Amino acid sequence: MTLWFVLSLMTVAAIFAVLWPLARRAEPARAGTDLAVYRDQIEEVRRDLAAGLIGEQEALAAEREVSRRLIAAADASAADTIGTPAAPIAWRRRAAALAIPLLLPIGAGGLYLALGSPTLPDQPLAGRLAASPGGQSIDSLVAQIEAHLEAHPQDGRGWDLIAPVYIRLGRFDDAVSARRNALRLNGETADRVAGLGEALVLDENGVVTGEAKAAFDRALELDPSHVQARYFIGLAAEQDGDRQKASTVWQALLASAPPDAPWAEFVRRALARVEEGAERRANGPSQEQVAASSELSTDQRNTMIRAMVERLSQRLARDGSDPEGWLRLVRSYMVLGEAEKARAVAGDARRALAGDPAKLRQFEDLVKTLGLKG
Chain length of the chain: 374
**Distance separating alpha carbons of residues 23 and 291, to the nearest angstrom:** 90
Tens of pLDDT along the chain (374 residues) come to: 566 666 677 776 766 666 666 565 554 545 456 656 767 777 776 777 777 777 777 767 777 776 777 676 666 665 554 444 545 555 666 666 566 666 666 766 666 666 665 555 555 555 555 554 454 577 888 888 899 999 999 999 999 999 999 988 888 999 999 999 999 999 999 999 999 999 999 888 788 888 999 999 999 999 999 999 999 999 998 888 788 899 999 999 999 999 888 999 989 988 888 887 655 444 445 545 555 555 556 666 667 777 778 878 888 888 888 887 888 888 888 777 788 888 888 888 888 888 888 888 888 877 776 666 55
Closest Cα to residue 250, out of 240, 265, 259?
265
Question: Rounded to 5 degrees, what are φ and ψ at 362?
Answer: -65, -40
**Distance separating alpha carbons of residues 367 and 343, to the nearest angstrom:** 10
Closest Cα to residue 325, out of 334, 335, 336, 314?
314
**Distance separating alpha carbons of residues 364 and 341, to the nearest angstrom:** 17
Domains and CATH numbers, the chain: 288-368 (1.25.40)
> Please, what is the end-to-end C-alpha distance for the chain in angstroms?
82
Q: Residue 346, class by beta-carbon neighbours within 10 Å (0-12 exposed, 13-18 middle, 19+ buried)? A: buried
